[in-house]
Structures are given as structure tokens and as C-alpha cells.
Amino acid sequence: MADDSFVLGGCTQQKYTPDSPYESNLNSLLTSLVNSATYSSYNNFTILGSSPQDVVYGLYQCRGDLSMPDCATCVARAVSQTGSLCPTACGGAVQLQGCYVKYDNATFLGVEDKNVVLKKCGPSVEYDKEAEIVGRRDAMMGGLMSGGGAFRVGGSGEVQGLAQCVGDLSAGECQDCLSAAIGRLKTECGAANYGDMYLGKCYARFSTSATADTGGDHSFAKSHNDKSSNDGEKTFAIIIGLLAGIALLIIFFAFLRKVVDRNGK
């Protein structure tokens, strides 16, 4: 499973004016998200403005089993995709396989959201395996429900699954959100060989070995070895260099725009 493969995205209808204080604050927020992801798997920020309409709120979160280099890479990719997906939109969100990024001019931090934003159910398992697979799936999901923490993984036989809440929820809100996601997944995906249920502030997923063996988007297992660790460290160093380069480019283009505007007047 590629950690930076696209899952879903969306934008608010409200737009901001280019070169406005809101755009400046949004750029500051997105830079903060990318920088923070180099050392923390979750964070949220509020960038204040000179007026209430210039305030921007945002957060990011990485899947709980991602290394910090992989987390930073994923968040940088998600932030980049918000720019192409939601140009001049006041709010946007992108969910990749390994991370989630969201920003808006209306606060959503600490607010539980159990609305369904994406549901995927795979094809039904073979008839002669249906009872066994469904039983193992329900047992695995029972383990996810009883597990603690914001990130939970589990398995039963050839069925594996994971669930995660966004880090701004309380423990009780997280449990409530996951209960809703898991309940809908069991009800709406029936005897499917995989299922994804993404709610506004949490998600739950499962797959069987039949889908995991294909190595597609529903193969959750991550292998951790020395090569991947070394590659992650190299990627981490590259990201630090890219962040510095991006910051310089932002400054340069802002200066160039001002020069062009001044000469055009």
C-alpha cells in the first residue's frame, strides 16, 4: 500500500481573494503543518489575523504505524495536493492512505463529526467461506472496539483491520466515532472481502488475505526492515532540504509578484 496514494479530497465553496491576508495566513498554516510533520504524527494550528475573517484553522494526522520520515513525506504530498485540488478555496481536506490534512476558516478543531465521507465495499467472499470470514471479521472488529488509543490494529485469521481517530477528539469522542464507523462497516459491507468506512473524524477498515496478497490499497501490513529504515532516513534528509528550498521560492515569487505589479501600474 502506497502511503501517499489518494483516498479522498474536498473543498469548501467559499473562496478567498488572491494576495489577501487570508492567503498569507493559509500559506503560513500549510508551512507549519509540513514542518511539524517532521517530528510529530499529529498537530493542529490556528493562525490569527488582524480581523476574524482572516483566521485559518488546520491540522494533519499520520497513520499510527508510519515512521516520522514517511509521515513527513505523506503530509508534504497531501499539502501539495490541497493546492491543486482547492485553489483559492477557504477550506480543503485531503486523505491519503497514510495521512490526513484539513484546513478551514471556520473552526472544526475538537468537534466530533460522524458523517460518512467515503464508503468502499469489496466483492463478496466465496460462498463456502462466507460464514468463517464474517465471523473472523466481527471478532477482529470487536477487538478494535475494545482496544484503547486513537490508532488500533487487529486481526483474526486471514482478516486484518485498523481504525483511527483524528487526534483532536477526546477518548470518549474517539470511541463514539469508531463505534459508528465499525457498526456501519459491518452492516453495509456484509460479506465483502474488504471494506473502508471514513467518517468526518475517524475511519475503520478491514481486508482479507485475498485482497492483502494482491498488495493493493487494501493491504494494510507494513514491513519494517533495515532497508526501509535507511531509505526513510534518506527521505527525511531530502525533505528538510526541500522545505528550505520551498520557503526560499515562496519568498522569491512573492517579491517577483510585487515587482511585476509595481511595474504594471
pLDDT of 97 higher than 70: yes
Q: Burial level of 115, CB count in 10 A (0-12/13-18/19+)? A: exposed
DSSP state of 6: E
Kindly report the average pLDDT of the chain as a whole number: 85
Evaluate whether 149 touches 164 at the Cβ level (below 8 Å).
Answer: no
Helices 21-36 & 68-85 angle (0-180, nearest 10):
160
Evaluate whether 158 touches 134 at the Cβ level (below 8 Å).
Answer: no
The C-alpha atoms of residue 106 and residue 6 are separated, in whole angstroms, by 25
More confident residue, 161 or 235: 161
1-109 matches 116-212 in fold: yes
Evaluate whether 202 touches 163 at the Cβ level (below 8 Å).
Answer: yes
pLDDT > 90 fraction of the chain, expressed in percent and rounded = 73
More confident residue, 228 or 92: 92
Residues forming beta bridges with residue 192, ordered by sequence position: 124
Quick one: average pLDDT of 153-182?
96
**3-class SS at 223?**
coil
Amino acid at 81: Q
**pLDDT value for 118:** 98
Specify the fold of 1-109.
Killer Toxin P4; Chain A (3.30.430)
**pLDDT value for 217:** 60
Quick one: average pLDDT of 236-258?
47
**pLDDT value for 209:** 81
Domain 116-212 = CATH 3.30.430.20: yes
In the Cβ-directed half-sphere of 71, how many Cα atoms lie within 13 Å? 19
pLDDT of 220 higher than 80: no
pLDDT of 156 higher than 70: yes
Residues forming beta bridges with residue 57, ordered by sequence position: 46, 104
Residues forming beta bridges with residue 89, ordered by sequence position: 15
Find the DSSP H helices in 116-225: 130-146, 171-189, 209-212
- Domain layout of the chain by residue ranges: 1-109, 116-212
DSSP state of 144: H
**pLDDT value for 26:** 98
Evaluate whether 93 touches 9 at the Cβ level (below 8 Å).
Answer: yes
**pLDDT value for 183:** 96
**pLDDT value for 229:** 39
Quick one: average pLDDT of 104-115?
97
